[in-house]
Amino acid sequence: MTPLVAEFGANASAGTPQEAADFGDIVLLAVQWSRKESAAASVSSREGRVVLTPVNPLRDGPDGIEVIDTGGRQPGEVVASLVPGARPAEGFNTYLDQVLSKDPAVGGGRRAVLLAGDGAEAKRKVAEPALSCGFQPVDTGTPAEGGSLFDRDGPEDAPPCR
């Protein structure tokens, strides 16, 4: 881990998952769907913390990527149920990493990042880094209300917000 930390510069440091969760205002729970339970369980200091989940219910299958049945609940609702006491928010999961790593300024506007959560404060905290990275956050309501907007296979070249 030390070479990777050095690559990021003097302000970077390494730590355990718990140390990372205790560090900032937002806990980023970015794991494969099959690992969401163990990742959520490792965040013991979640009371009142914003937990951002850019997680989609997908897995590699014999014919390519498969969608996992969530029992009629939106993925954000499923993950939120795993972090009781936290203020969950969902976002940054509608683009492939290859798109997120590009400049969000496109066509005279900015790429939109959909956000959902049960509280305005949690969504505001997640919107701040989205804005600072150059994205346009869009509040879709609660996971139950706006979760269907997060469905898989969104366009790679989504139109910009102006």
**Model pLDDT for residues 137-157, shown as the tens digit of each residue:** 999 998 888 777 776 544 444
| pTM for the predicted model, two decimal places | 0.76
Q: CB within 8 A of 137, min separation 6: which ones?
A: 91, 112, 113, 115, 123, 126, 127, 130, 131
Q: Does residue 15 sit within a domain?
A: yes
| Domain contains 48 | yes
Domain containing residue 24: CATH number? 3.40.50.720
Residue-range definition of the domain harbouring residue 43? 2-150
State pLDDT tens for residues 41-74: 877 667 888 888 888 888 888 988 888 888 888 8
Q: What percent of the chain has pLDDT over 70?
A: 91
Q: Per the domain annotation, does 137 fall within a domain?
A: yes
- Is 38 inside any structural domain? yes
pLDDT in tens, 83-120: 888 888 888 887 877 888 888 988 888 999 999 988 88
Q: Domains in the chain: how many in total? A: 1
User: What mean pLDDT value characterizes the chain?
Assistant: 82
Q: Which of 130, 109, 157, 131 is nearest to 54 (CA)?
A: 130
Please give the pLDDT value at position 151.
65
pLDDT tens digits for range 10-19:
888 888 777 7
Supply the Cα-derived Rg of the chain in whole angstroms. 16
pLDDT computed for residue 119 by the predictor: 86
